[in-house]
Structure formats: structure tokens, C-alpha cells
Amino acid sequence: MRILVTGGAGFIGSHLTEGLLRAGHDVVVLDNLDPYYDVDIKRHSLGRCRDAGGDRFTFVEGSVTDEALVRSTVAEHDVEFVYHQAAQAGVRASVENPKKSHEVNTTGLLNLLEAAADAGVERFVNASSSSVYGRDEYLPYDEDHPTNPRSPYGVTKVAAEHYCTVWTDLFDLPCVNLRYFTVYGPRMRPNMAITNFVSRCLNGEPPVVYGDGEQTRDFTYVDDVVEANLDLLETDAADGETMNVGSTGNISITELARYVVEETGADVEVVYDEARDADARHTHADVSKAERLIGYEPTTTIREGVSQFIDWYRKNREWYEPLVIGS
């Protein structure tokens, strides 16, 4: 199958691209290599994709906001399936620059939906986020929980989901929204909490927790997310649906930080700093809908995943370690 992965040089997108290539598909990656974080990490990820796919891998440098480029990429490569992973990521980044988040996450999505519908694409999978939920009225979140985002980023993800639903209903483009819950693993963005904790501990510095540390997160290992996406190649049971993609549980940020200290063997204590605005207090996914529709079964617990990440980090520090510890 000929597949387009937008944002395929990024963390989740590159892992998904590798998985698709190893499964024998032809993959085109569209990515603008935005320097939101170290572009060398993205170039390293692209190298992994080239190694996995050879001639079946194509890289197109450019943005989903470039309507003409999006249309030509879809048409010239006879794209049959779209995985839309590209986004202006980051809750706090969206507070600082909401217009950029809107342009990339909403206008960019519309460019892709129009191009995909016109080209007769078989299925369009949109990467959404647990940020759509915002304030928790109950936990775990199921897909019927109200969407009350606390950030411009969350608003753009809600809008994207609605656009996908409309394109399914009005333009005969089967769309699926996958709501990711804090994905982590090798090559993740260096400003994520787990990377930050590991970086500081391995450099003899204490991990910094923002707020009281009692906030909780449902951390999802990237391999589980890739499996959920690959499952959508085999079934149309989820067309027109929105599903949570989470893990096997959640953990407090303080507990996470202490576990990283223990696993790295660092002689440090967790320290606390002022809470950051727009962050959700708790996240926890009910994944029963994804289990029912596509057979989704997360297999990696947070402790298993963090241990795997620490091992990977130690082996890849030379090219991956953040330039500024604690940034």
C-alpha cells in the first residue's frame, strides 16, 4: 500500500513510518523539520526510516500548511492511506503562539482532508490528543467525556476531530481520530518530562517537578501507539470513530520522578517548582472502545517503558542528550 505519513520525521511519526516500512508498505513522509526541538534528532529518525525502507521510502520536505505541496504530494505518489501525525506540538507553546498552532493543526489538517478526499484516499487517520478533555469530570476518560480543553493546542485538536467527522459524513472520506495519551519512548521530544528527569539524573542533577507532583498522567509507550495505527490497515470497523489510545494505568509525576531516580541510581532528591498554566491535572484513558473495535491491547507498563527508555538513553546519549539540561 502507498501511505503518506505527515510529521514522519517526528517522534511518533518516525516510529510509525518504520513500522509501516518493515511491514512492506511504500511510505512518503511529509515534514518541514520545524526546529521546535533539535532538528538533528529528526534527521536521525529519517535515517532510521531510510534504513528500514530503502527505495520504498520517500521524504518530502515541506509543511502541511502549503496547500499546493500537499495536493501534489498526495496526487503524484498515488497515496492510498494517510496517517496525519504532523502538528505544532506543545500545550505551553500554544499558549505562547496560538496562531501558529491554529495554522498548522487546523488549516494544515483541512489542506490534507481536501486533498485526500479529492484523490479518493481509502482512509485518513488523524492523530488527536488527550488534551481535548481538559478538566476531568470523571476518570478514566471515555470518549463520551466532555471536551473542555485548557489550551489553544487542545482546542485545535477538538476542531480537527470535528472536521474529520464532517469529511467522513459529507465527502465519503473514512476518517479515524486517535486520542493519544502522553506518548513516550526512544527519540521522544527532549522537553518531555521523562527525558528531562532522565537527563538530569544521569548528569547528577535533581529532577524538577512543576507543581505539587500529585498530578497524574497516563503515559503510553510508543510501540503500543504504533500497533494501534497499524491495526487500522486491517479493518474498517473504526471508520468515522474517535478512540482513546492509552496505557495500562497512570502514575503521579512525583512517583515517576522518584522511579527515574531509583532506576538511574542518581544520588539526588526530587525538587519542586512553580506549577505551569494550561496543564491538565489528571489524565487516564479508558481504552475499551479501541479494544472492541480494533483489538487494541497496550502491553508496556510505565515502569517497564521507563526502564527501556533509560537503557536506550544511555546507549544514545552522544547524539540525543538535550543541549540544555532542564530546559
pLDDT tens profile 156-178? 999 999 999 999 999 999 999 99
User: Is residue 81 one of the residues assigned to a domain?
Assistant: yes
Please tell me the predicted confidence (pLDDT) of residue 65. 98
User: CA 37: distance to chain centroid?
Assistant: 14
Please, what sign has the CA dihedral across residues 247, 4, 90, 147?
A: negative
Q: For the chain, what is the mean pLDDT?
A: 95
Number of domains in the chain: 1
DSSP classification of residue 132: G
Query: From residue 71, how far is each of 62, 119, 188, 310 by CA, in Å?
Result: 12, 9, 29, 41
DSSP classification of residue 140: S
User: CA 63: distance to chain centroid?
Assistant: 17
Could you tell me the pTM of the whole model?
A: 0.96
User: Is residue 31 one of the residues assigned to a domain?
Assistant: yes
Question: Are the C-beta atoms of 177 and 105 separated by less than 8 Å?
Answer: no
Is it the case that residue 314 has pLDDT exceeding 60?
yes
Strands, DSSP E only, in the chain? Answer: 2-6, 26-31, 57-61, 81-84, 123-129, 175-180, 183-184, 208-210, 216-217, 220-221, 242-245, 251-252, 271-273
User: Is residue 196 one of the residues assigned to a domain?
Assistant: no
CATH number where 117 lies: 3.40.50.720
Please tell me the predicted confidence (pLDDT) of residue 275. 87
For residue 64, the enclosing domain spans: 2-182+222-245
pLDDT average, residue stretch 259-277: 94
Please tell me the predicted confidence (pLDDT) of residue 324. 44
Please tell me the predicted confidence (pLDDT) of residue 280. 81
Please tell me the predicted confidence (pLDDT) of residue 146. 97
Is it the case that residue 326 has pLDDT exceeding 50?
no
User: Is residue 201 one of the residues assigned to a domain?
Assistant: no
pLDDT average, residue stretch 81-92: 94
Using a pLDDT cut of 70, give the percent of the chain over it. 98
User: Is residue 146 one of the residues assigned to a domain?
Assistant: yes
- Catalytically annotated residues: 153
User: Is residue 215 one of the residues assigned to a domain?
Assistant: no
Q: pLDDT tens, 272-295?
A: 999 887 678 899 999 999 999 999
- Confidence band of 323 (pLDDT split at 50, 70, 90): low
Instruction: Please report which residue ranges of 232-300 form alpha helices under DSSP H.
Output: 253-264, 288-294
- Confidence band of 322 (pLDDT split at 50, 70, 90): confident
User: Is residue 26 one of the residues assigned to a domain?
Assistant: yes
User: Is residue 287 one of the residues assigned to a domain?
Assistant: no
